[in-house]
Amino acid sequence: MKKIKEVLVGSLYFLGYLLSPVSWWNNLLINAPLAYLFAFLVAIAKYDPNLFNLCFVGFYFLLNIGGLLILKYSINTPLQQVYGWKKESIVMGLVWVVIYSIIIIVLLYLDIIRIPYEYFR
């Protein structure tokens, strides 16, 4: 039973690490595409393409915050001695979130990032 709990906590840690802003590539390769997909699905479901920009930035922040919370929860277990919780990596992660958020907002403003079906018009 203890081994199953360790595997579950380790899996939760891995999920939190993937979604958290601990490194630059998490945001670029995982959070931004997921936020784009979720924003697209919301815009289609509500039949309102104007929601896309707001949802994209909102989901991006939610994924990062959710990743940090999952990471923090999974580290507050006996695995904390193995993985640790480094304040520097969290601060750098938040810096990357701000940098990528500014880039995303600028790209949305310049109409470079658009809802997918607008690329084919």
pLDDT tier at 8 (50, 70, 90 boundaries)? confident
The pTM of the full predicted model, rounded to 2 decimals, is 0.78
Rounded Cα distance between 40 and 74, Å, is: 30
Cα 94 to chain centroid distance, Å, stands at 11
What confidence score (pLDDT) does residue 11 get? Answer: 86
Q: What is the pLDDT of residues 54-85, one digit of tens each?
A: 999 999 989 988 888 887 777 765 545 555 55
Domain ranges for the chain: 2-120
Closest CA to 66 of 92, 30, 104: 30
